[in-house]
């Protein structure tokens, strides 16, 4: 299938309330531009270096999402333009984003990344850490960030029951925190599991290979 067919195929599976972040990591700028020309505006990248190569050569109204582990010393390179950092996985990182946002006279939208996969290879906060950070935020810490919601990745397994269980942990936390302050974004679901994620309450999916084709590496 062509890029356009892939893209329309994914769009056709998303309910109106579900946002698509097209994960463009490892794909060159010209391919991103093709998807941009089909109307897509939100793109996700997982490496700062790669993002910094693509951002200047692509249209200014692209909404860039950082979706991979972010080292604190690299926040400064993206703080001026990033639309959303989905991968806040430590308090230290959130502090740094807050500091760099202030330097750039802007607020930076972020999601707290929560580790829901049973596999222990992934970055992310525990549920308790996420709650603690959110409570600090509610009491006035991190004034230059806007915590918009939560992001999580399920295990790469075939067992649908397990995937649903993992997504439901994040959905429950989302509902619990939303009682304290309404949250907008529940980012879960990738090429392999986005239909399950949507059934589990996701309203923002991060889809890469199902649009751009298989990658050789992450």
Ligand X SMILES: *Cc1c(COP(=O)(O)O)cnc(C)c1O
Binding flag, residue 67, ligand X (CB under 6 A): yes
Closest to ligand X by CB, 43 vs 174, is 43
Q: Which of 150, 51, 135, 147 is nearest to 94 (CA)?
A: 147
When the beta carbons of 149 and 208 are compared against ligand X, the nearer one is: 208
For residues 14-53, which are near ligand X according to CB under 6 A? 23, 25, 46
Asked if 72 is part of the footprint of ligand X (rule: CB under 6 A), the reply reads no
Q: How far apart are CA 54 and CA 44, in angstroms?
A: 11
Residue with tokens 């990248």: 45
**Binding string, 153-192, against ligand X, x = CB under 6 A?**
x------------------------------------xxx
Asked whether the beta carbons of 88 and 111 are under 8 A apart, the reply is yes
Complete DSSP assignment for 116-152: --SSTTS--B-HHHHHHHHHHHHTT-STTEEEEEEEE
- Told to check if 10 binds ligand X by CB under 6 A, we report no
Could you tell me which stretch among 75-83, 99-107, 160-168, 204-212 binds ligand X (CB under 6 A)? 204-212
Nearest to 70 by CA among 59, 58, 61, 82: 82
Interface positions with ligand X (CB under 6 A): 23, 25, 46, 67-68, 153, 190-192, 206-210, 218
């Amino acid at each position: 299938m062509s890029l356009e067919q892939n893209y329309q195929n994914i769009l056709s599976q998303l309910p109106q309330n579900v946002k698509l972040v097209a994960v463009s990591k490892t794909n060159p700028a010209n391919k991103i531009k093709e998807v941009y020309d089909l109307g897509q505006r939100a793109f996700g990248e997982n490496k700062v270096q790669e993002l910094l190569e693509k951002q200047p050569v692509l249209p200014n109204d692209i909404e860039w999402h950082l979706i991979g582990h972010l080292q604190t010393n690299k926040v400064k390179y993206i703080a001026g333009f990033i639309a959303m950092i989905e991968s806040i996985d430590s308090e230290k990182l959130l502090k740094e984003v807050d500091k760099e946002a202030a330097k750039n006279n802007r607020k930076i939208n972020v999601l707290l990344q929560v580790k829901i996969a049973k596999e222990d290879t992934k970055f992310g906060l525990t549920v308790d850490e996420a709650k603690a950070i959110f409570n600090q935020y509610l009491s006035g810490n991190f004034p230059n960030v806007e915590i918009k919601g939560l992001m999580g990745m399920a295990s790469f397994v075939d067992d649908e029951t397990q995937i649903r269980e993992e997504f439901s942990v994040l959905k429950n936390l989302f509902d619990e925190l939303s009682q304290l302050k309404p949250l907008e974004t529940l980012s879960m679901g990738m090429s392999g599991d986005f239909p399950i994620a949507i059934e589990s309450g996701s309203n923002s999916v991060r889809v890469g290979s199902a649009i751009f084709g298989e990658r050789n590496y992450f």
